[in-house]
């Protein structure tokens, strides 16, 4: 089985686990013991070559209990869009969204709405004003979240700078629902369900019953790790069943813009940066819900945190990046 990983960076991993790479579990265990000092941190899972080598739950939390993964769910919505394209449900990233959401277009919609593509929504380059941050509460208080997102004033041209907005991924959820006649949750359970360990628990819906694309999704840390492993393994399950095309993973992990939050690259639902000298792709949710994939080291790491505590301005996100850096260095030492 070909264990292709970060195709965007042209990295390929091998099937066999080198003898020199057999981890001393205590190395990772020590790091995870010390990580308990990061007060908002609730769980950590470290997986190499498809096997969990260390995991922890702190302050009464468990890796098997559902948690709100917040915006890390945007990576999952991206996967569903990729699968829909492969199945012919959607044409591709260049497909215009206006015809797909015609019933919800405001009567006085800005003409630029007709230039927005599926790819623009995935990369947060729709140009529409943000429905995240200070606008989030007003947006989810509206009677029609899809229409409200499409009615936001344009802050840039479609394809312009990154404007991080949960409304963009919610529009993708609405598109998937309209094009298939099935809920996004049903699609996720069908299309990703063959992945052992993958499951989605509760998930918030809008007033029209559309599942919230890119937020308020409950998953266990182990389930999130299983999803990360699917991408690390090039879209195949451990049994060799293909769920996501390798081409879609390459497309998703190709940097298209940069985050205004931290300058990191952003693809289709994934952030990209270098940590401890390694190229890393990651999903990030409010509070510090992190899914890291480090293909060159066959490494997948999940970290979940208190969902009520901001992770960016508090510095907690940087602490989590630092912890990942220590895990990366430990993985390298295991191979030396």
Q: Which residues 6+ apart lie within 8 Å of 178 measured at CB? A: 100, 101
| Torsional sign, CA 125, 80, 222, 242 | negative
101 within 8 A of 145, measured Cβ to Cβ: no
Rounded Cα distance, 33 and 281, in Å? 25
Only one residue has tokens 């312009």, namely 160
How is residue 236 written in tokens?
């195949």
CATH superfamily of the domain spanning 73-220: DD-peptidase/beta-lactamase superfamily (3.40.710.10)
How is residue 129 written in tokens?
């004003």
How is residue 184 written in tokens?
């996004």
CB-count burial class (<10 Å; 0-12, 13-18, 19+) for 139: buried
Rounded Cα distance, 249 and 322, in Å? 26
136 within 8 A of 183, measured Cβ to Cβ: no
198 within 8 A of 192, measured Cβ to Cβ: yes
* Confidence at residue 244, expressed as pLDDT on a 0 to 100 scale: 98
DSSP string, 206-260: -TTS-B-TTSSBEE-HHHHHHHHHHHHTTTB-TTS-B-S-HHHHHHHTS--EE-T
* Confidence at residue 14, expressed as pLDDT on a 0 to 100 scale: 31
- Each of the 336 residues of the chain gets a pLDDT tens digit; together they read 344 434 444 333 333 333 333 445 558 999 999 999 999 999 999 999 999 999 999 999 999 999 999 999 999 999 999 999 999 999 999 999 999 999 999 999 999 999 999 999 999 999 999 999 899 999 999 999 999 999 999 999 999 999 999 999 999 999 999 999 999 999 999 999 999 999 999 999 999 999 999 999 999 999 999 999 999 999 999 999 999 999 999 999 999 999 987 899 999 999 999 999 999 999 999 999 999 999 999 999 999 999 987 777 788 999 999 999 999 999 999 887
How is residue 105 written in tokens?
């277009």
Rounded Cα distance, 115 and 121, in Å? 11
158 within 8 A of 112, measured Cβ to Cβ: yes
* Confidence at residue 4, expressed as pLDDT on a 0 to 100 scale: 42
Q: pTM score, two decimals?
A: 0.91
* Confidence at residue 267, expressed as pLDDT on a 0 to 100 scale: 98
Task: Measure the N-to-C terminal CA separation of the chain; round to a whole number of Å.
Answer: 26
DSSP string, 145-166: HHHHHHTSPBSS-TTSS----H
Which of 334, 300, 331 minimizes the C-alpha distance to 75?
300
Q: Which residues 6+ apart lie within 8 Å of 158 measured at CB? A: 112, 115, 116, 117, 120, 125, 126, 127
* Confidence at residue 26, expressed as pLDDT on a 0 to 100 scale: 53
Residue 178: how many other CB atoms lie within 10 Å? 15
Phi, psi at 235, each rounded to 5°: 100, 5
């Amino acid at each position: 089985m070909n264990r292709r990983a970060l195709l965007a960076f042209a990295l390929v991993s091998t099937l066999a686990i080198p003898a020199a790479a057999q981890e001393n579990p205590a190395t990772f265990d020590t790091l995870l013991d010390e990580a308990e000092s990061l007060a908002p941190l609730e769980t950590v899972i470290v997986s190499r070559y498809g096997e969990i080598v260390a995991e922890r739950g702190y302050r009464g939390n468990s890796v098997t209990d559902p948690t709100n993964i917040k915006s890390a769910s945007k990576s999952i919505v991206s996967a569903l869009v990729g699968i829909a394209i492969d199945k012919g449900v959607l044409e591709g990233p260049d497909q215009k969204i206006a015809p797909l959401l015609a019933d919800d277009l405001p009567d006085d919609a800005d003409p630029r709405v007709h230039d927005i593509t599926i790819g623009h929504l995935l990369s947060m380059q729709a140009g529409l004003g943000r429905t995240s941050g200070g606008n989030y509460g007003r947006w989810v208080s509206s009677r029609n979240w899809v229409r409200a997102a499409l009615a936001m004033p344009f802050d840039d041209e479609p394809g312009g700078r990154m404007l991080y907005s949960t409304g963009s991924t919610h529009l993708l959820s609405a598109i998937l629902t309209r094009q298939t006649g099935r809920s996004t949750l049903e699609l996720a359970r069908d299309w990703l369900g063959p992945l052992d360990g993958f499951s989605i628990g509760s998930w918030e819906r809008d007033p029209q019953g559309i599942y919230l694309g890119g937020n308020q999704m409950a998953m266990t840390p182990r389930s999130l790790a299983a999803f990360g492993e699917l991408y690390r393994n090039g879209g195949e399950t451990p049994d060799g069943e293909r769920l996501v095309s390798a081409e879609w993973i390459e497309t998703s992990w190709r940097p298209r813009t940069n985050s205004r939050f931290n300058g990191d690259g952003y693809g289709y639902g994934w952030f990209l940066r270098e940590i401890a000298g390694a190229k890393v792709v990651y999903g990030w949710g409010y509070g510090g819900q992190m899914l890291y994939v480090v293909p060159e080291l066959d490494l997948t790491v999940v970290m979940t945190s208190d969902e009520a505590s901001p992770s960016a301005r508090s510095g907690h996100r940087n602490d989590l990046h630092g912890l990942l850096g220590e895990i990366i260095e430990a993985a390298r030492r295991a191979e030396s």
